[in-house]
Structure 1
């Protein structure tokens, strides 16, 4: 069918990369015109976001209901906790090893340090660079147990839905799904059918919204480079390269895990990962990729639908592997930038703090996610506030990589949690 051919072209990696490259070139050549295209990307992302919460709520409640009827809840919970811990440790350690080997924040040129000074303090004098980078910073307030609990439990589910609070909505869906699973089937059958209808409708809508993906990518990349130019990217080039290498290593590792867990060839596995990969690049929104992740695991790789539909929203909301590895890389980069040498204990502290900060970032997006780097820096008494603007300058690119790691990494985690599909 024509629609299938359009969809295949829209999520093709070469079409995605080509659209980004053409949009970036347009943004650099005619920045004023490119800025006007930003509204296209904003509207598109909002269209995707509007289906996220209905999709997540219906999928979690419906899947939990079926899970209770099928049995095996306690074994699944143990497997989830094990996979969460192993995945968090793996991504954090990979990020730490690459940053310690590459040392992107050490031995920077005087020109780069001068650019940092301009970005941090808007000062044209190079003599002020050190002052701005080494200035006194406001102490970062630690996250208390009360803050964590308050961010988890909704006082009003309708307010959480209206505010787009994905984490509180997930907690409600989990608790409500557990309760619905204990209700007799003859009573809950009507709700089950309604939830399945919502789920299928949201999935179909996400599929339709994938058709204009190349055009959307062109507009979004043109608007971004038209706004910021290449100056900030050049100044933070070594950090971006290091984080890119970390991302590639983790994406390859995740693809291998999915391949080994599925009953298909490597080519079929990579083909199945194309839609979530393309959507992650386009939207930089992991929640918007959930329908595509489920479709890839269930329809193309053969994993059990009941498990996948429950695990995908759960991992996307709680297993924040993208932010975790970003916090490790950012903290070590700041330590190298300020000339702070770190021993084994300090590196282990960074890894543990980054994992905790990653879990704390559940429900957060964009620059709010970046601000949690301060949580990891405070353990090493590193000033983060002065360097914050450095990371803001390149966050659109880093956010894209974080989302890719989160989407493909969580797809791998779900493939490990769920039983292996039967070989055909």
Structure 2
């Protein structure tokens, strides 16, 4: 297998990524003559990542569920895991919606910011779309959300769903196929798992290679985006970004407190998870944090290696805490931009829709992940395509916190689902006197 020369490791440095972002911002805002050079790099980077999303989604989820069902205690573990997953996702979406409702990042914007956002939305929308941010937005005729969701859930042809990028359909197929793998005889299941593991590893390796191109891709994406919208939108989103970061920090503190309460120790979890947290913030890539998270949960916390190797990848792919929280807050921002009345029904659609949309991001990351916001905005009749570019602009700032929420929550979920480790660790769980 080809290896990246060691002298190219500097491309993955946080300083290199930061420098690439600065160059992209400068080209996009002040020196667009270089746009024709850097913009194709960004599009190429995004296309390659998008190419890998659905194969990783299909194989990772099917493989994890299939292996889970083969374990002796799979029924108990699956039930406990499902309850914890649902509780975490519901808590994250509720926290995001509440943060949006309390801090109202899309309300009380100054006139210049409203004009800038309105012009951006109009430029990126259909020609017959009239945008007026000073009057309430009128949603299209109400439709059955449940009926629309069920019709969009089952793929009539899985290969067609894969080729057209229907993530929700592929997610449903992967879940169902994973249960089928766990139900068939052991020999056939092992063959399928081995094949899926090879496909998963190959596409994951491609993603890891692409991390060396991340500074160039980020530069091109930022330059291309900023050249179209200008710096006014960045000013308008200044109120949104701090609220998002504050919400993620609040979630981190809540999860950390519950994990410490479970383990009866207030220092060790922070020390043990320092490395995976640093990697997640520095790379903004979930899979890049996987090896460190597996090592920490086994060697530092002392959990069984087989259980950790199964639960951490499964949680990374299915319990998408970061996107769920972010989608809820972003939807509240769009609701406030269009002056939609926030009724209890609208609030519940945001909470439940964000839960579904966050789950549907399994296997995806970065800018392409943001398109899943349509699962929340669609039932509310909000034209997401028009304002999606606003979230693309600030995504390089928010993505590291979103990834950190996934990684930290996954490690915490393992401590809540599995029994406390029986053998001693390097650092004791309970302080001795």
Band the TM-score falls in, shorter-chain normalisation = 0.7 to 0.9
* Pairing 1:297–2:293 present: yes
* Pairing 1:321–2:320 present: no
Q: Deviations over 1:361-417 (max 9, x none)?
A: 354756754555645757xxxxx55x984x345221354566555533333343233
In 2, Cα distance between the equivalents of 1:274 and 1:169?
Answer: 32
Partner of 1:206: 207
1:141 deviates by: 4.1
In 1, Cα distance between the equivalents of 2:12 and 2:206?
Answer: 16
Q: Deviations over 1:122-170 (max 9, x none)?
A: 8xxxxxx996631663525445222212222221111122222232223
Helix, strand or coil: the match of 1:394? helix
1:15 deviates by: 3.6
Contact kept in structure 1, 2:135 and 2:338, CA below 8 Å:
no
Unaligned ranges ≥5, structure 1:
123-128, 281-288, 379-383
In 1, Cα distance between the equivalents of 2:288 and 2:207?
Answer: 8
Partner of 2:147: 146
1:21-420 matches, cutoff 5 A = 21-115=22-116, 118=119, 133-134=134-135, 137-139=138-140, 141-250=142-251, 266=270, 269-280=273-284, 289=285, 291-302=287-298, 304-316=308-320, 320-332=324-336, 334-335=338-339, 346=343, 348-361=344-357, 363=360, 368-371=371-374, 374=377, 389=386, 391-400=387-396, 403-404=399-400, 406-418=402-414, 419=418
Structure 1 residues 161, 275: CA separation in 2 closer, same or farther (over 3 Å shift)? farther
In 2, Cα distance between the equivalents of 1:388 and 1:219?
Answer: 21
Structure 1 residues 71, 151: CA separation in 2 closer, same or farther (over 3 Å shift)? farther
In 1, Cα distance between the equivalents of 2:184 and 2:208?
Answer: 33
In 2, Cα distance between the equivalents of 1:55 and 1:117?
Answer: 37
In 2, Cα distance between the equivalents of 1:75 and 1:4?
Answer: 45
Helix, strand or coil: the match of 2:156? coil
Structure 1 residues 351, 407: CA separation in 2 closer, same or farther (over 3 Å shift)? farther
Partner of 1:283: none
Q: Deviations over 1:8-27 (max 9, x none)?
A: x4444444333212321232
Contact kept in structure 1, 2:283 and 2:400, CA below 8 Å:
no
1:275 deviates by: 4.3
Instruction: Please say which of residues 156-165 and 250-259 is displaced more in the overlay.
Output: 250-259
In 1, Cα distance between the equivalents of 2:8 and 2:38?
Answer: 23
RMSD of aligned alpha carbons:
4.0
Contact kept in structure 2, 1:60 and 1:313, CA below 8 Å:
yes
Instruction: Please say which of residues 318-327 and 40-49 is displaced more in the overlay.
Output: 318-327
In 2, Cα distance between the equivalents of 1:249 and 1:4?
Answer: 38
Structure 1 residues 118, 178: CA separation in 2 closer, same or farther (over 3 Å shift)? closer
1:171 deviates by: 2.2
Contact kept in structure 2, 1:60 and 1:310, CA below 8 Å:
yes
Partner of 2:364: none
1:30 deviates by: 0.8
In 1, Cα distance between the equivalents of 2:27 and 2:392?
Answer: 17
Structure 1 residues 155, 6: CA separation in 2 closer, same or farther (over 3 Å shift)? same
1:326 deviates by: 1.9
1:292 deviates by: 2.9
Helix, strand or coil: the match of 1:154? coil
1:37 deviates by: 1.6
1:291 deviates by: 3.2
In 2, Cα distance between the equivalents of 1:388 and 1:44?
Answer: 21
1:318 deviates by: 11
Contact kept in structure 1, 2:88 and 2:321, CA below 8 Å:
no
Normalised to the residue count of structure 1, the TM-score between the two structures is 0.75
Contact kept in structure 1, 2:280 and 2:407, CA below 8 Å:
no
In 2, Cα distance between the equivalents of 1:216 and 1:70?
Answer: 42
Partner of 1:284: none
1:43 deviates by: 1.1
1:230 deviates by: 0.2
Helix, strand or coil: the match of 1:237? coil
Structure 1 residues 352, 215: CA separation in 2 closer, same or farther (over 3 Å shift)? same
Q: What is the number of equivalent residue pairs in this alignment?
A: 394
Contact kept in structure 2, 1:23 and 1:219, CA below 8 Å:
yes
Q: Deviations over 1:301-356 (max 9, x none)?
A: 43711222333222249973331232234335654xx8x6x7xxx4x544422122
Helix, strand or coil: the match of 1:79? helix
